[in-house]
């Protein structure tokens, strides 16, 4: 069975691969693509897969822009962090979805639905995701005020997959090639992607760039003071021992960001 995974969160992609192996559907790991542009290039150069597991928000935008540009003729199971406002659109068009974070049992239910409906996908002339379906799903997003930025991170920790809400992140820091989200307690959560990639996923009204290796959440900023060499010292709320600093080059932009 040929499967394609469209997912920008590495832990979520690993979980999907693990569940596929547990279900006995892939002996080798299927390809994982993290952006719309790379997914388009993959689909243009490979045979159509039997099944796609697709997140909605990828690194460079909404996945529906991909389906508007490329005619997908295989069924799609969406693995999404969106809430119930999208479910009628999925249900109305017979598309399976998995609401993150999902369990193996929920994953198996979606596969069972795919297998039961497999006969209806047998005609290659009928796309599983028609232009009408794409328009309906896109319209459902617009009608409720589509979230433009990430709401949560799924982080693989030693004891399992941890769901970290973006609003709980005090600052984001790149350290020796790894990007970490740091919460109010000082706990560091490893994220997939570079700091720049993570920054694009966060609301710029809430997260501002301090320097080449740090972003800060405005909700945790308590005080900003002048620092050496035209830099600023940023003190965090309830964390007297944590002081972040802007770079000299970033200070003017950070000042503008503070003023909203």
Output the domain CATH number for residue 30: 3.40.50.2300
Each residue of 20-62: pLDDT tens digit?
999 998 878 899 999 999 999 999 999 999 899 998 888 888 8
Contact 143/154 with Cβ under 8 angstroms?
no
- Do 127 and 176 lie in one domain? The reply is no
- Do 50 and 88 lie in one domain? The reply is yes
- Do 122 and 158 lie in one domain? The reply is no
pLDDT at 119: 60
Each residue of 73-98: pLDDT tens digit?
888 888 877 654 455 545 544 467 78
Is the confidence at residue 231, as pLDDT, over 90? yes
Task: Provide the residue range defining the domain that includes 17.
Answer: 3-143
Boundary residue ending a domain (99, 115, 143): 143
CA of residue 112 relative to chain centroid, distance: 25
Structural domains of the chain, count: 2
Q: Rounded to a whole number, what is the distance in angstroms from the first to the last CA of the chain?
A: 51
Boundary residue ending a domain (143, 175, 208): 143
- Do 111 and 166 lie in one domain? The reply is no
Count Cβ atoms below 10 Å from residue 153 Cβ, excluding itself. Answer: 23
Please tell me the distance from the alpha carbon of residue 72 to that of residue 53, in angstroms, as a whole number: 12
**Full-prediction pTM beyond 0.75?**
no
Contact 128/75 with Cβ under 8 angstroms?
yes
96-99/76-80 β-pairing:
parallel
């Amino acid at each position: 069975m040929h499967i394609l995974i469209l997912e920008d969160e590495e832990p979520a992609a690993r979980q999907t691969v693990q569940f596929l192996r547990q279900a006995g559907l892939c002996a080798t790991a299927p390809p994982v693509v993290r952006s719309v542009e790379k997914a388009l290039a993959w689909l243009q150069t490979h045979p159509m897969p039997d099944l796609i597991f697709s997140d909605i928000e990828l690194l460079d935008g909404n996945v529906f822009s991909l389906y508007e540009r490329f005619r997908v003729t295989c069924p799609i199971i969406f693995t999404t962090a969106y809430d119930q406002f999208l479910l009628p659109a999925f249900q109305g068009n017979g598309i399976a979805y998995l609401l993150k974070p999902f369990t193996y049992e929920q994953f198996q239910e979606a596969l069972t639905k795919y297998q039961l409906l497999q006969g209806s996908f047998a005609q290659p002339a009928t796309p599983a995701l028609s232009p009408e379906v794409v328009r309906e799903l896109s319209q459902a997003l617009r009608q409720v005020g589509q979230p433009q930025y990430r709401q949560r991170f799924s982080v693989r920790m030693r004891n399992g997959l941890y769901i970290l809400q973006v609003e709980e992140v005090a600052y984001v820091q790149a350290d020796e090639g790894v990007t970490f989200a740091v919460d109010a307690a000082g706990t560091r959560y490893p994220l997939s992607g570079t700091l720049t990639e993570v920054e694009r996923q966060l609301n710029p009204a809430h997260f501002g760039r301090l320097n080449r290796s740090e972003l800060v959440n405005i909700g945790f900023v308590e005080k900003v003071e002048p620092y050496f060499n035209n830099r600023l010292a940023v003190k965090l709320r309830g964390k007297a021992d944590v002081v972040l600093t802007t770079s000299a080059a970033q200070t003017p932009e950070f000042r503008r960001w503070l003023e909203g």
